[in-house]
Structure 1
């Protein structure tokens, strides 16, 4: 195994992701600081009604879709949502969040922006809507005592400085994690008894990383594997589709569980939805429908 080549490959993959993440990370913080999304939250109120959520949850949904889950939770925390409402919100935003960043990342592995956005919005609505039919008895009746403090900024300069520092920390994390994962993966693939399973290993490992760590890290692996020809365009379509429905399944879910959202419902619904959507859409892909 050539460790130097693997390290260079991992750094190139990480750099592609970093160039997308840093400017969008800072842009998202500026949107949050000026509370710009509050001016258009009324557009999402019909969706909150459809999902049996209070209309006040519209700003939380918009913040999650365009910014990140932490902003979404900060706006949802004061609303005194029930455990079922937190679960519905967790399912929808677990699938459909951080669209600006993650759609750009998916574009780098070859999935069109329109496809990524439509899949996650439609998928999120469908799966969250199905949760509304579950009986209330499945959900915790205790009132959550969790507290979330909103980020406070002094002025725009403070926003830019803190978001730059945050993006740098994220950059270091991306470089370290992607490098370690790719080095480990290349080591495993260099073993003689593994070589005949190399394609399946690349596909399954990419899904595993994305499901556990999220789209950003999973895409870093995909970019590297796509360039090394370990994965076909069909493989990338399948993996990308699966990960857009089911990624960062632990971290994202736990953010809602602290407010009494049902862990098992969120995980099971997202995993099953990812399997169904990816298999169904792969059949359409094979028929050149999409």
Structure 2
């Protein structure tokens, strides 16, 4: 399972990097990601974690060259909200208020990410 997710993610990230798409995505997402003191390119990692799973996000993170503080911030954000599509379906099937839990997880990810970015700003590489 892990191999089926990480290898294609590495290949796609390499291809996007060669095409200049990662930099373009970074420029577009930079204003939002700056709230977390992250480069705009980190939006790719967050979206992969939210929509696919943690493993795809980890594979993409490897190509960003992030600092320790940035990795810690991203890790906490991803820990709060990951695989949202699959897990929301499971929660709904189990009878939980899936929409409310989805919003709660996203809000916690944003809140914890913002707080972590201020705590881990000076963590050395």
TM-score (norm 1): 0.33
Residues in 1 aligned to 2:120 and 2:57: alpha-carbon distance in whole angstroms: 25
1:103 equivalent in structure 2 = 88
Q: CA RMSD in A?
A: 2.6
Q: In the comparison of the two structures, how many residue pairs are matched?
A: 107
2:103 equivalent in structure 1 = 118
Q: Structure 1, residues 28-55: CA drift from partner, whole Å, max 9, x if none?
A: x6xx67x6xx89x577544312111001
Assess, with a 3 A threshold, how the Cα gap between structure 1 residues 69 and 44 changes in structure 2: closer, same or farther: farther
2:73 equivalent in structure 1 = 88
When Rg is computed on C-alpha atoms for both structures, the one with the higher figure is: 1
* 1:74 aligns with one of 59, 73, 78: 59
Q: CA deviation at 1:109?
A: 2.3
TM-score (norm 2): 0.72
2:114 equivalent in structure 1 = 129
Q: CA deviation at 1:82?
A: 0.7
* 1:48 aligns with one of 19, 22, 33: 33
Assess, with a 3 A threshold, how the Cα gap between structure 1 residues 48 and 75 changes in structure 2: closer, same or farther: same
Residues in 2 aligned to 1:81 and 1:65: alpha-carbon distance in whole angstroms: 19
Assess, with a 3 A threshold, how the Cα gap between structure 1 residues 68 and 132 changes in structure 2: closer, same or farther: same
Assess, with a 3 A threshold, how the Cα gap between structure 1 residues 84 and 70 changes in structure 2: closer, same or farther: same
Assess, with a 3 A threshold, how the Cα gap between structure 1 residues 71 and 135 changes in structure 2: closer, same or farther: closer
Does the 8 Å CA contact 1:44/1:62 hold for their aligned counterparts? no
Does the 8 Å CA contact 1:60/1:73 hold for their aligned counterparts? yes
Residues in 1 aligned to 2:89 and 2:115: alpha-carbon distance in whole angstroms: 28
* 2:47 aligns with one of 62, 69, 81: 62
Residues in 2 aligned to 1:49 and 1:136: alpha-carbon distance in whole angstroms: 12
Residues in 1 aligned to 2:91 and 2:31: alpha-carbon distance in whole angstroms: 28
Give the gaps of 5 or more residues in structure 1: 1-24, 143-290
Does the 8 Å CA contact 1:68/1:97 hold for their aligned counterparts? yes
Q: Structure 1, residues 97-153: CA drift from partner, whole Å, max 9, x if none?
A: 10011111111222233212211111100011011221545x3x24xxxxxxxxxxx
Assess, with a 3 A threshold, how the Cα gap between structure 1 residues 135 and 115 changes in structure 2: closer, same or farther: closer
Residues in 2 aligned to 1:79 and 1:96: alpha-carbon distance in whole angstroms: 20
